[in-house]
Amino acid sequence: MFRIIRCKLGSIRHFHGESETCPPIRVYVKDRYRHFVDSLRLTVSGGNGGHGLPKFGGMGGSGGNVYVEAADNVTLKKLTKKKAMASSGENSAHYRVIGENGSDCIVRVPVGVTVFDDNGRPLGQLDKVGDKVLVALGGTGGNQHNNYLGLKGQKQSIVLDLKLIADAGLVGFPNAGKSSLLKAISRASPKIANYPFTTINPNIGVMEFEDYRQMSVADLPGLIEGAHNNIGLGHKFLKHIVRTHLLVFVIDINGFKYRPEWPQRSPLETFLLLNRELELYDDRILSKPAILVVSKLDNKEYEHKFYHFCEQLKALQTNGLESITNECLKSNKLIKFDKIIGVCAKNGYNIDELRDCMRNAIDLNCEVDKLKSNQLISFQSIEANKKRRNEEQDILLI
């Protein structure tokens, strides 16, 4: 969380006239760009059961359980303790024959966390505030069935894996201009530089509109070819796309070239590679609402390139995927864009139009989801009424 900066102090003059130069010292300065934690291992222990008292038939209290609960205004970074332990149950005594149960321990985590055990088996998913998962069971108190000896609580290691839930996510290859775009459309201040992988952790920005409507935008770290096979920590980056409501593809008008020995990719090839990587990771992602943003249009020449790129996309949709000859670029399905727009974050070209497009797409998606939810509730209500009427008819026949 800190960067080490070496600095050298000037000479120090002593009273007797001699001077001595101080050696270089290290100053620790907090790094404001390394603040995101999306995976954490935690050891959880249920409380031990209290012992019983055979003389009076007393029962010991049961140990407390350990739960993981989703809450607001919480981050994994705040979980400084790597162990979570519930309290043990009280022993039975002559003045209290039934011992009190131990208190439960609740580990509060942000919404979007999936809990895994040490073998990678999912224990639960926390999608909304208040969702709770039992991760360690407390031991049973001593009683006649266990010779009045309290049992030990369950102990295990769990992994808390966070997938961001954002209204929109910026997706693209490294150095495509995602961080600059996030800064232009929101109030975020991400690190920006002209080299790949400037963003190594997701950055979150908030777009605010004149009617005080706010939307969250995630600047996701850049992908590379082979990300679906976890090349370049691909899975660490791709997992955040799954729960994003709107995908904003960001493509450099100059294309992309990750390494000198790799081929230069045109804007169309860059799009096809992104589409392929997402499909191979999880083809359900291609069904999400999406907007295509072509960045860095800061002169007329690049605007002409943008129009040519749009014509290539139309030709691809007309001719179909069979027209793609390069096997490395082929996919079974192409993502459909609600809007294709060219922007320049540096001079603000089309930035306001992009903000409006993103809001319209997110609002429309929310309305569709709400309509689907209402239809599902109506269908379930109709089925319940049918079942109730059939049961009433059966009673009348009897």
Give yes or no for a contact between 105 and 67, defined as CB atoms under 8 angstroms apart: yes
pLDDT at residue 156 tops 90: yes
266 Cβ contact partners less than 8 Å away, ≥ 6 residues apart: 255
pLDDT at residue 175 tops 50: yes
Structure tokens at 141: 């108190």
Phi and psi at 377, nearest 5°, equal -65, -40
Note the pLDDT tens digit of each residue in 267-315: 998 898 888 888 888 888 888 899 999 999 988 888 899 999 999 898 8
Among 119-128, 137-146, 237-246, name the most confident range.
Answer: 137-146
What secondary structure, in 3-state letters, does 240-289 show? Answer: HHCCCCEEEEEEECCCECCCCCCCCECHHHHHHHHHHHHHHHCHHHHHCC
Mean residue pLDDT across the chain = 78
CATH class of 39-162: mainly beta
More confident residue, 95 or 61: 61
Give yes or no for a contact between 224 and 258, defined as CB atoms under 8 angstroms apart: yes
Q: Taken in order 315, 320, 325, 329, is the CA torsion positive or negative?
A: positive
> What distance in Å separates the CA atoms of residue 214 and residue 122, rounded to the nearest whole number?
33
Give yes or no for a contact between 98 and 141, defined as CB atoms under 8 angstroms apart: no
Give yes or no for a contact between 359 and 213, defined as CB atoms under 8 angstroms apart: yes
pLDDT class for 7, splitting at 50, 70, 90? very low
> What distance in Å separates the CA atoms of residue 48 and residue 50, rounded to the nearest whole number?
6
Note the pLDDT tens digit of each residue in 196-240: 444 446 677 888 888 888 888 888 765 655 544 444 444 566 777
Half-sphere exposure of 158 (CA within 13 A, CB side): 26
> What distance in Å separates the CA atoms of residue 175 and residue 173, rounded to the nearest whole number?
7
* Unique residue bearing structure tokens 């350990």: 66
- The model's pTM is 0.64
Length of the chain: 398
Homologous superfamily in CATH for domain 168-367: P-loop containing nucleotide triphosphate hydrolases (3.40.50.300)
Note the pLDDT tens digit of each residue in 86-134: 999 999 998 889 999 999 999 999 888 889 998 889 999 898 899 999 9
Structure tokens at 350: 């089309």
Give yes or no for a contact between 277 and 241, defined as CB atoms under 8 angstroms apart: no
Instruction: Report the Cα–Cα distance between both ends of the chain, in Å, rounded.
Output: 74
* Unique residue bearing structure tokens 């073998």: 119
Q: Where are the domains of the chain?
A: 39-162, 168-367
Choice among 192-196, 198-202, 368-372 with the minimum mean pLDDT: 192-196
